[in-house]
Amino acid sequence: MHNNYYYLRQVSSALAPILIGRTVDSTFSQDRDELVISFLSKTDLFFIRAILKNSFVCLTFPSEFHRARKNTVELFSELTGRTVEKIIQYKNDRSFAIQLDSGLLLLFKLHGNRSNVLLYKDNKVIELFQNNIEADLSLSPESLHRDISPTFEDFIQNKQNPATVYPTLGKPVAAYLKQEKFPTKSAQEQWTTLQQFIYNLENPSSFYVVRSPAHLSTGNSSFQLTLFPTGNTEFESADPLEIANRFYSLYARESTFDKERQQVLHKLEKQKKQTESYLTKTYEKLNQIQTEARHEQLANILMANIHQIPPGSETVELFDFYHNQTIRIKLKKEISAQKNAETYYRKAKNEKIEIEILEKAITQKESEMAQIKKYMTDIIAIQNLKVLRNYVKDYDLASTSTIPAIQELFKRFEYQGFEILVGKNAKNNDLLTREYAWKEDLWLHAKDVTGSHVVIKYQSGKKFPEPVIEKAAQLAAYYSKRKNDTLCPVTVTPRKYIRKPKGLPEGAVIIDKEQVVLVEPADFSRL
């Protein structure tokens, strides 16, 4: 109810003896949606701070306000030095005005997300705080007065709905009346109760800041300013200005807490999804290697039949004693059968190493996932800003690194179902080639010039189509120093033939084996 008519009429009434006779010292803003006005007397300054955000509107009356040295702007310059003559409360409206000498009127219109502060001179608008609310340029202050004097007959005709006959009540009042079993009473009892309640709202003895657990499900603030006791009372005061300050203090603290908690949870949720994605892909890769890993078996079959293999053979058909069938094994004709077996043993050893690396990575990521889930559970349970900040600091969550998504790290394209990744700079090229490219992926680079590393991601059981290779080569040419050449030679090779010895500059690699294609440089929009 901090913007309710019944509360604001108490605010305007309390402001009158404080402001009348004071002069405006300054009017400024150091936040796009906040206006601060200071009023000078012979002994002190009095401040009104108007917070007019779309999501939250509130007036506070701080005892002091330290103006920033930078990023602050003077507003409503006509007010400076003017004397307050009168405070006007508009009947049955969430608006009041400060009348000053020289025909000036400063109107506070607290209408939700249409709230504004307007300056009039001789009944004409000369300045708005929120300039985007153009309708306020033609707003007449007198039009804000509303006469609401319903009768019992009006109440009956409106189906005994308090909010219809008294639109100034607001949702908290409706909820309170329901809590007080208002609907169960007879029409006459309801009317009598309603009249007494309106009287109490117009003549409150105290103001309250209460806490409600509703924000846990709605996302709204758990604190409310009311003119009647309800829920768990956090603070009570007979001063409407003091209660405004206390309400805003609690709201701001909780708002800061919710914001900081959501920031940490959002970061952890993002990391959780990235870790889940990483685990899925790594499990798929591990399963693929384990399913296809037969190099050691092939080597054993070759060694068991070493004397039956003719020299210079490119293939040989031998009995597979692991699966009880005859199979064909590819050979390098320039080396002996034993050397071919050694090659298969070496590949088997590399597969074992790769499997160990993948299993180690999976174990590490699963441990990270468990820790992320624990962090999220703990943070959701925290209900105090100080405890939250200590927890974030203790576990270094503010600087928790996350695994960036592929599309955030590199330029990403897709052609004929194949994913093509392009490095952004020398350092990024190293990251792409060394950390995100598997040995079966196809690696491309414009020949003999600087440029982006390009990787076509391998798909199990599929050969790289020639059109896909050509398109990736065109991208490699386009993202290189040969971008404007008519034709560009591009290196194409499996990632396993790329090495990065220590000491090489960022982006530089050694290519052990390559093919070269000649293409026209083109960006993806032309592909």
> Is the same domain home to 11 and 139?
yes
Residue 495 has pLDDT above 90, yes or no: yes
> Is the same domain home to 90 and 176?
no
For residue 47, what are the β-bridge partners?
38
Torsion of CA 299, 302, 307, 309, to 10 degrees: -130
> Is the same domain home to 248 and 277?
no
> Is the same domain home to 363 and 415?
no
Which pLDDT value is given to residue 525? 67
CA terminus-to-terminus distance, the chain: 61
Lowest mean pLDDT segment, chosen from 193-207, 464-478, 508-522: 193-207
Determine, yes or no, domain membership for 95: yes
Among 144, 176, 203, residue at a domain's last position: 144
pLDDT confidence bin for 49, thresholds 50/70/90: very high
Tell the burial category of 333 from Cβ atoms under 10 Å away from its Cβ (0-12, 13-18, 19+): exposed
CA distance 321 to 327: 10
Contacts of 164 (CB under 8 A, 6+ apart): 158
Q: Domain tally for the chain?
A: 4
Q: Are 106 and 77 in contact (CB under 8 A)?
A: no
> Is the same domain home to 415 and 390?
no
Determine, yes or no, domain membership for 257: no
Among 218, 252, 286, residue at a domain's last position: 252
Which pLDDT value is given to residue 220? 53
Determine, yes or no, domain membership for 224: yes
Determine, yes or no, domain membership for 276: yes
> Is the same domain home to 372 and 444?
no
> Is the same domain home to 300 and 218?
no
Which pLDDT value is given to residue 322? 85
Among 399, 423, 457, residue at a domain's last position: 399
Residue 404 has pLDDT above 60, yes or no: no
Residue 403 has pLDDT above 60, yes or no: no
How is 354-373 classified by DSSP, letter by letter? HHHHHHHHHHHHHHHHHHHH
Which pLDDT value is given to residue 453? 97
Determine, yes or no, domain membership for 298: yes
pLDDT confidence bin for 521, thresholds 50/70/90: very high
Mean pLDDT of 136-149: 92
Dump pLDDT digits (tens) for 249-291: 888 888 888 888 888 999 999 989 989 998 998 898 888 877 7
Q: Are 503 and 482 in contact (CB under 8 A)?
A: no
Residue 395 has pLDDT above 70, yes or no: yes
> Is the same domain home to 248 and 311?
no
> Is the same domain home to 332 and 357?
yes
Which pLDDT value is given to residue 406? 60
| Token pair recorded at residue 406 | 């592929």
> Is the same domain home to 136 and 198?
no
pTM above the 0.75 mark? no
> Is the same domain home to 297 and 372?
yes
Residue 408 has pLDDT above 80, yes or no: no
CATH number of residue 16's parent domain: 2.30.310.10
| Token pair recorded at residue 206 | 């105290």
> Is the same domain home to 158 and 178?
yes
Determine, yes or no, domain membership for 440: yes
CATH number of residue 389's parent domain: 1.10.287
Which pLDDT value is given to residue 472? 96
Residue 100's nearest CA partner among 17, 22, 8, 10 is 22
The share of the chain scoring above pLDDT 70, in percent, equals: 95
Mean pLDDT rounded to a whole number for the chain: 88
The share of the chain scoring above pLDDT 90, in percent, equals: 49
How is 271-325 classified by DSSP, letter by letter? HHHHHHHHHHHHHHHHHHHHHH--HHHHHHHHHHTGGGS-TT-SEEEEEETTTTE
Residue numbers of the domain that contains 164: 152-252
